[in-house]
Amino acid sequence: MAFESKNPFLNNKSFTATSASTDHKVHQATLIDYNQDMTLAGTINKTLILFLLLTAASLITWWMAFNGMNPMLPTIGGAIVGLILVVIAAFKPQYSPVLAPGYALFEGLFIGGVSAIFEAKYPGIVIQAVGATFVTFAVCLGLYKFKIVKVTEQFKSVVVAATFAIATYYLISWLFSMFTSFVPVHYGNGMMSIGISVFVIVIASLNLFLDFDRMEKGVEQKMPKFMEWFAAMGLIITLVWLYIEFLRLLSKLSSRN
């Protein structure tokens, strides 16, 4: 049974193709060693590993920023390389055991640099954004675990549509602002801009439910072991997105004071 992914990274094609292309091999392997299948515990462990790698890397650019060094090169470089690794993993999930840790390290450089920039302008904002991200994660996990929120096909459709609408809006706004004098409405600290940030945070949070559901379905489908890294990478991507959006929202609120 194929299941539909709504995370921009963990797409349906990647999971379905992986399941179909390795189905015969997986069933052969399970006759010898059941540890070759994707497990929930294994996925959680790998998510923690990626989180620790991301945190460690972020401390590098954070330290640079507050010790008189310019962190822009590793920050921008980390963002670019991280994006490249995500794209490769989306098409080649079997390489996730290498790509996922690499993504965490390079994305960590980006996160550390961006966090330092926000912190320098709005002291205390980083700890607030980190706290908001973890609280949101915990609440969503609890709601999913106790079946208060059920991931139905209609739920998935709404979230994926909203997610791609946001991505399209951001891309178009960026292109227009690069080549024209157009100022996107999500810039600044007006009520419209704040409203957009709140909406984006809600959609990013809803993607967490899809990540949890995807992991559970992957285990049920007995996907190959490397998909643990792939799924963990997808969850980290969602958390990074959520954290960045919290930084943006909190900075808008702080600038109004």
What's the pTM value of the predicted model, to 2 decimals?
A: 0.86
Distance CA 244, CA 127 (A): 12
pLDDT of residue 178: 81
pLDDT of residue 30: 39
Backbone angles phi, psi at 37, to 5 degrees: -90, 155
CA distances from 81 to 95, 103, 120, 169 (A): 16, 8, 25, 23
Distance CA 116, CA 121 (A): 9
Neighbour count for residue 182 (Cβ, 10 Å): 13
Residue ranges of the chain with per-residue pLDDT less than 70: 1-35, 257
pLDDT of residue 236: 98
